[in-house]
């Protein structure tokens, strides 16, 4: 019942974020505990012939993990110059991924399609990764996320839009920033061309969800590789990536979890009634 409740909570969270830009659907995975072999041993000579096998006993299930579905969400045009979206279709040579972004090799090893993310930094300069590109410009002229995390460039430095409006900034498909009027690259304080840092995670399931569309790595010191020249990733300005939650399937799964919860609840109620009869009726015989 607890496992079904957690599954229901996961699906409810997905539905609540169906309109959240860049949201990636979570999935509740249940696994059964190991079965036990029940046997009855008599009071004989203690040999194997003195043991009678009764059968197997299943000890229940538990919610093992909550992996994410990192399939590409639909891009929606907002025409807002501070909105950015990533279309990520990174390939691995010799590997054919299915629709969910997973491949199983001959030896049973699972491989997941690498995914690209915007790279942002919190107040402690710890990196976070997001597909929610609905950015704004704060009072200091820095490009920030909706919850105030700073968007960083290829040098891990905050992207500062000073002396110009964000509408004067254009980004190409690799995340490089240019002046909308002159076409010249936008430079940082060190005179270097500014480019959105797009981090590529070889296994996106290593990420830990933090909320507000942000993910982190378990080891804060790990720095993912930057977008490679041959990676099939395209940055689109004036677009956002919609949630990849399948609303229809989520409703079906939620009802299935509710029905499974109710079925287990009735079993518990049956045992309660049986014990009640045992205590109140059989004891009087």
Share above pLDDT 70 across residues of the chain, in percent, rounded to a whole number: 93
Question: Using 50, 70 and 90 to split pLDDT, how confident is the model at 159?
Answer: very high
β 177-179/169-171 pair status: antiparallel
Distances, alpha carbon 217 to alpha carbons 175, 196, 259, in Å: 23, 20, 36
The whole-number average pLDDT for the span 128-157 is 93
Is the pLDDT confidence value at 161 over 80? yes
Tokens of 100: 């969910």
Of residues 77 and 101, more confidence is placed in: 77
| Cβ neighbours for 119, distance < 8 A, ≥ 6 positions apart | 127, 128, 129, 151, 152, 156, 196, 197, 198, 199
The whole-number average pLDDT for the span 222-233 is 89
Tally the C-alpha atoms within 13 A of residue 180's C-alpha that lie toward its C-beta: 11
- Per-residue pLDDT of 61-80, as tens digits, reads 776 667 788 989 999 999 99
Tokens of 40: 């009855």
Of residues 48 and 198, more confidence is placed in: 198
Tokens of 164: 């110009």
Asked if residue 64 lies in contact with residue 176, where contact means CB atoms within 8 angstroms, the answer is no
pLDDT at 47: 56
Rounded to whole angstroms, the Cα distance separating 148 from 239 reads 20
pLDDT at 217: 92
- CA 280 to chain CA centroid, nearest Å: 51
pLDDT at 101: 87
| Cβ neighbours for 3, distance < 8 A, ≥ 6 positions apart | 28, 30, 61, 62, 63
pLDDT at 156: 92
Asked if residue 70 lies in contact with residue 24, where contact means CB atoms within 8 angstroms, the answer is yes
Is the pLDDT confidence value at 46 over 60? no
pLDDT at 60: 74
The whole-number average pLDDT for the span 28-41 is 74
224: number of Cβ within 10 Å = 21
Asked if residue 146 lies in contact with residue 160, where contact means CB atoms within 8 angstroms, the answer is no
């Amino acid at each position: 019942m607890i496992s079904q409740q957690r599954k229901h909570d996961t699906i409810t969270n997905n539905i609540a974020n169906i309109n959240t830009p860049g949201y990636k659907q979570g999935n509740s995975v249940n696994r059964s505990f190991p079965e036990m072999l029940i046997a009855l041993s008599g009071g004989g000579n203690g040999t194997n012939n003195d043991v009678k096998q009764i059968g197997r006993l299943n000890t229940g299930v538990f919610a093992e993990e909550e992996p994410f579905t990192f399939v590409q969400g639909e891009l929606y045009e907002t025409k807002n110059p501070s909105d950015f979206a990533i279309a990520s279709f990174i390939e691995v040579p010799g590997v054919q991924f299915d629709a969910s972004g997973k491949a199983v090799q001959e030896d049973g090893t699972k491989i997941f399609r690498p995914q690209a993310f915007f790279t942002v930094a919190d107040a402690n300069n710890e990196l976070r990764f997001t597909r929610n590109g609905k950015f704004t410009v704060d009072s200091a002229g820095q490009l920030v996320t909706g919850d105030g995390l700073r968007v960083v460039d290829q040098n891990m430095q905050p992207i500062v839009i000073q002396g110009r409006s964000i509408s004067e900034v254009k980004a190409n498909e690799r995340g490089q920033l240019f002046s909308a009027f002159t076409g010249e690259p936008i430079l940082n304080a060190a005179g270097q061309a500014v480019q959105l840092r797009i981090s590529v995670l070889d296994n996106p399931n290593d990420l830990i969800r933090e909320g507000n569309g942000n993910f982190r790595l378990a080891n804060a010191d790990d720095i993912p590789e930057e977008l490679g020249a041959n990676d099939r990733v395209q940055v689109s300005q004036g677009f956002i990536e919609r949630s990849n939650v399948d609303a229809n399937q989520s409703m079906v799964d939620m009802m299935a979890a509710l029905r499974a919860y109710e079925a287990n609840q009735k079993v518990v109620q049956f045992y309660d009634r049986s014990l009640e009869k045992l205590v109140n009726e059989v004891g009087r015989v």
